[in-house]
Amino acid sequence: MEDIVEDFLELVQIDAASGNERGVADAVKAKLEALGLAVEEDDAGASFGGNAGNLLAVLDGGLPGSILLNAHMDRVANGLGIEPQIKDGLIVSDGTTILAADDLSGVAALIDSVRRLQACGQKFPRVEYLFTVGEEAGLLGSKAFDTSRLRAKVGYAFDSPGRLGRVVCAAPGQVSLTVEVAGKAAHAGNCPEEGVNAVTALAKILATIRDGRLDPESTANFAVLDCGTKVTNIVQSYAVCRGEMRSRNDAALSAYVEYFERHCREAASGTGAAVKTTVTPQYESFSFDEDAPVIQAALAALRDMGAEAQVNGGGGGMDANVFNAAGIGVVGVATGYSGNHGISERIVLDDLRRAGELAERIVLSWADMGGLPE
């Protein structure tokens, strides 16, 4: 069995989650050090109550310039006790958990690229490997990372769904949206007319708000409801809902924020309840044209592999959003997984086998293109 497949199968079986990446971080660090790389760990985990930090390792290839390769070590919920299985050219879980190919396939690909570059017999630019924590909890690790430690001006996040060959040229920005409704408590049996039901007012807001797929580049979702009590004999005085809106179009994002604030007030008018909205920016969008050098280097690598390439935008945020906001031009790269964040998650075995080669060839493509921006 290939090293990259063995690495992947080992890593997914280490229990981890956002904020509890210690086991995976230790395993990744050991693998990199066994390949002769020095690994530095920051204190990013401490910024959000986690037990591990981001890992940074550097491979010097003897040519000027630097390139960033990134993947994240955490996973979403339902990622404990994973039992990976190889079936019909796929790697899947046993059907009761996620697989954590998002993003341990990216982690395995980057480790494999170290082996490949060390053995390739060619000079190449300096490679900065950054393995982050807390990505699934809101890009927390990359937000806490000191990007001044990086020399790279371009890079690739091996963290996107799709078959090998997909390059993600754009990703949405996201804002968190909260609506709080304050009513008036009263006894639900004796004097309900004296109360103002915050739950009813919130229901009117949510029943009429625009959500789901808003346009080809934008979505909104309201998912978390709370009123602070489970009893039914009180006219509820408080209710809150938390959600999000994301878009690759900054103008659409701004317009929806204005709509959200206006809609919440108007929908609750006449109920007697007071409404408070809070909008919290999470990360900015990014977008590259297909002729951008960072895209062209990836396409050249895919051509060299004989892989079918596709360039399109994604619907999820990733560490690349944070790096682009910091002035490092980073795009997403697919490793062959699909169904991520659910028990149907799977990865195409042949795509995983070739993902490390793709990382290697991307680095070498920059050498062929005449070097990296300084």
CATH number at residue 262: 3.30.70.360
**202 and 168 belong to one structural domain:** no
For residues 368 and 250, the model is more confident at 250
* Structure confidence by residue, pLDDT tens digits, 290-314: 999 999 999 999 999 999 999 999 9
Looking at residue 228, what is its pLDDT? 85
**167 and 32 belong to one structural domain:** yes
CATH number at residue 152: 3.40.630.10
- Per annotation, catalytic residue among 7, 74, 217, 360: 74
Residue percentage of the chain with pLDDT more than 70: 98
Burial class (CB in 10 A: 0-12, 13-18, 19+), 37: buried
Judge contact between 131 and 41, C-beta under 8 A: no
* Assigned domain for 230 exists: yes
Is the pLDDT at 1 greater than 70? The verdict is no
* Structure confidence by residue, pLDDT tens digits, 98-137: 999 999 999 999 999 999 999 999 999 999 999 999 999 9
For 219-230, give one letter per residue: b (16+ CB within 10 A) or e: bbebeeeebeee
Backbone angles phi, psi at 159, to 5 degrees: -160, 65
**168 and 178 belong to one structural domain:** no
The letter for the amino acid at 238 is Y
* Coil vs helix vs strand at 263: helix
Looking at residue 373, what is its pLDDT? 67
List the helix and strand counts (H, then E) for the chain: 9, 20
**168 and 187 belong to one structural domain:** no
Among 259, 282, 305, give the residue marking a domain's end: 282
Maximum Cα interatomic distance, the chain, rounded to a whole number of Å = 84
Q: Which domain holds residue 223?
A: 174-282
Among 243, 264, 282, give the residue marking a domain's end: 282
- Per annotation, catalytic residue among 102, 135, 217, 244: 135
> How many domains is the chain built from?
2
* Assigned domain for 88 exists: yes
**290 and 252 belong to one structural domain:** no
* Assigned domain for 373 exists: no
Question: What is the radius of gyration, based on Cα positions, of the chain?
Answer: 23
Judge contact between 100 and 82, C-beta under 8 A: yes
* Assigned domain for 259 exists: yes
351 is catalytic: no
* Assigned domain for 166 exists: yes
Tell me: cis bond preceding 215? Omega within 30 of 0 counts.
no
* Structure confidence by residue, pLDDT tens digits, 239-252: 999 999 999 999 99
291 is catalytic: no
**Rounded to whole angstroms, how far apart are CA atoms 267 and 206?**
9
